[in-house]
Chain A
């Protein structure tokens, strides 16, 4: 008789363990669908890879059904709003950089990220110190990249007239 196998531990919730292989299967399906318009030489590689993902996804689902899986409790840690804010702030930074120029966008984002990352209360002294350090760092990076390394950093379309 087969020994009862232990149920697998999910990395996150049990539902997501099923959801992700499904997502990968969907992506590979999309890739195969998209490959219709490609030349034969161009399509062969992505289609092969997509099929491999598809098979791996189906196998994984099979594995999950066979063994059963239980949710991983006690993983949720940290503040999700801060995470989301960080991503939003960095995206805004990238998008605004061509318009506001590297220096201004950099300074603004530096301050925003500083506020997002700070967990303790601000004291005037700490705030001032951090702001100065931030300005020095931005200027330092600017000097390194724009002046020493000749990277054409965006000047900002708003100021170009």
Chain B
């Protein structure tokens, strides 16, 4: 035990020194050592869980480890503001989340700009969804809208955080359906779903993933995905019901400024390959995620499109004018 320990220590030292002095390795043999994957949130959340699922397939494809680390704080801001200080050889990648990376820096200085993150791949999203308890009187989305129309503000929604994906979804939905509800922000999705299960609120802005975890206790009224989720074939999408809402919490990966183009391309392809693995697809689907592929070459267009959507909502929320 002690011997292996000291060997590990010695190799670690060696690696640290070699890693910091050798010039960048050519992209075709990237990666030639472990890649550090920094999650800008604490462990146990959805960003962590999806990263954990990617972990083993990354090793299968590259033969190197994907080492998950955490840098929580400020709803991701603590991590993202430090991304530019990290080594840009491609061996440091960081989780990147929408709408966070666009909404956070809006109208205030949080230590990073949306442009500081070089996103190289976006791999899935958790579609927004309206959840109610199994015993709720609201059977359909229309029931809920009717209740909100009768007494504006009386229908309460729990959700995670202010100016967050849930808050954005709620604001957009209020606009589209022309209703007024009360959005009550909680610290994290866990607290928001607890409030729903405990009957403190009538509905929750959550995700398909929340419904997947609490299948026996909640039902969804509508899902903000393009098509119905295979796990919930009976739940309509907002589009079907006449509301133009597709969105949720998108997740991807970013590297610091100055990371060589070839390395970014290589990383993008590796994660594309992971997304194509049927086993990975099944695992992600079982948890309620929806996979998508936004590789490096499509990233700018995707970001521009999301930026537009969030800017419109941010104006409504009064974040920017």
A residues contacting B by CB (< 8 A) are: 98, 139, 142-143, 146-147, 150-152, 155, 157, 159-160
B133 CB to closest chain A CB (Å) equals 26
Task: Show 30 residue pairs from A and B whose CB-CB distance is below 8 angstroms, ordered by the A residue.
Answer: A98-B85, A139-B9, A142-B9, A143-B5, A143-B8, A143-B9, A143-B12, A146-B12, A146-B16, A147-B8, A147-B9, A147-B12, A150-B36, A150-B67, A150-B68, A150-B69, A151-B69, A152-B36, A152-B38, A152-B69, A152-B71, A152-B92, A155-B16, A155-B20, A155-B87, A157-B85, A159-B20, A159-B21, A160-B20, A160-B87
Nearest-CB residue, chain B, relative to A153: B16
Chain B window 1-41, contacts with chain A (Cβ cutoff 8 Å), 1 for yes, 0 for no:
00001001100100010001100000000000000101000
Q: How far is it, in angstroms, between the C-alpha of A142 and the C-alpha of B5 when the chains are bound?
A: 12
Q: Point out the residues of chain A lying under 8 angstroms from B36, CB to CB.
A: 150, 152
Nearest-CB residue, chain B, relative to A102: B16
Q: How far is it, in angstroms, between the C-alpha of A147 and the C-alpha of B5 when the chains are bound?
A: 10
Chain B window 169-202, contacts with chain A (Cβ cutoff 8 Å), 1 for yes, 0 for no:
0000000000000000000000000000000000
Q: How far is it, in angstroms, between the C-alpha of A150 and the C-alpha of B65 when the chains are bound?
A: 12
Q: How far is it, in angstroms, between the C-alpha of A157 and the C-alpha of B68 when the chains are bound?
A: 23
B residues contacting A by CB (< 8 A) are: 5, 8-9, 12, 16, 20-21, 36, 38, 67-69, 71, 85, 87, 92
Q: Point out the residues of chain B lying under 8 angstroms from A150, CB to CB.
A: 36, 67-69
| Supplied contacts A146-B12, A147-B8, A160-B87, 9 more A-B pairs, CB within 8 Å | A98-B85, A139-B9, A142-B9, A143-B8, A150-B67, A150-B68, A150-B69, A152-B92, A157-B85
Nearest-CB residue, chain A, relative to B38: A152
Nearest-CB residue, chain B, relative to A152: B69
Q: Point out the residues of chain B lying under 8 angstroms from A160, CB to CB.
A: 20, 87
Q: How far is it, in angstroms, between the C-alpha of A160 and the C-alpha of B38 when the chains are bound?
A: 19
Q: How far is it, in angstroms, between the C-alpha of A155 and the C-alpha of B12 when the chains are bound?
A: 12
A19 CB to closest chain B CB (Å) equals 35
Q: Which 5 A-B pairs have the closest CB atoms?
A: A147-B12, A143-B9, A150-B69, A150-B67, A155-B20
Q: How far is it, in angstroms, between the C-alpha of A11 and the C-alpha of B92 when the chains are bound?
A: 52
A69 CB to closest chain B CB (Å) equals 43
B126 CB to closest chain A CB (Å) equals 26
B161 CB to closest chain A CB (Å) equals 14
Q: Point out the residues of chain B lying under 8 angstroms from A152, CB to CB.
A: 36, 38, 69, 71, 92
Q: Point out the residues of chain A lying under 8 angstroms from B20, CB to CB.
A: 155, 159-160
Q: How far is it, in angstroms, between the C-alpha of A159 and the C-alpha of B87 when the chains are bound?
A: 11
Q: Point out the residues of chain B lying under 8 angstroms from A98, CB to CB.
A: 85
Q: Point out the residues of chain B lying under 8 angstroms from A157, CB to CB.
A: 85
Q: Point out the residues of chain B lying under 8 angstroms from A142, CB to CB.
A: 9
Q: Point out the residues of chain B lying under 8 angstroms from A139, CB to CB.
A: 9
B156 CB to closest chain A CB (Å) equals 15
Q: How far is it, in angstroms, between the C-alpha of A124 and the C-alpha of B87 when the chains are bound?
A: 41
Q: Point out the residues of chain A lying under 8 angstroms from B8, CB to CB.
A: 143, 147
Interface centre among A98, A139, A142, A147 (most CB of B within 10 A): A147
A155 CB to closest chain B CB (Å) equals 6
Q: How far is it, in angstroms, between the C-alpha of A150 and the C-alpha of B43 when the chains are bound?
A: 13
Q: Point out the residues of chain A lying under 8 angstroms from B67, CB to CB.
A: 150
Q: How far is it, in angstroms, between the C-alpha of A157 and the C-alpha of B85 when the chains are bound?
A: 9
Nearest-CB residue, chain A, relative to B34: A150
B60 CB to closest chain A CB (Å) equals 20
A61 CB to closest chain B CB (Å) equals 37
B20 CB to closest chain A CB (Å) equals 6
Nearest-CB residue, chain B, relative to A157: B85
A101 CB to closest chain B CB (Å) equals 9
Nearest-CB residue, chain B, relative to A148: B8
Q: How far is it, in angstroms, between the C-alpha of A147 and the C-alpha of B67 when the chains are bound?
A: 11
Interface centre among B5, B16, B68, B92 (most CB of A within 10 A): B16
Nearest-CB residue, chain B, relative to A147: B12
Q: How far is it, in angstroms, between the C-alpha of A150 and the C-alpha of B39 when the chains are bound?
A: 13
Q: How far is it, in angstroms, between the C-alpha of A150 and the C-alpha of B12 when the chains are bound?
A: 11
Nearest-CB residue, chain A, relative to B89: A160
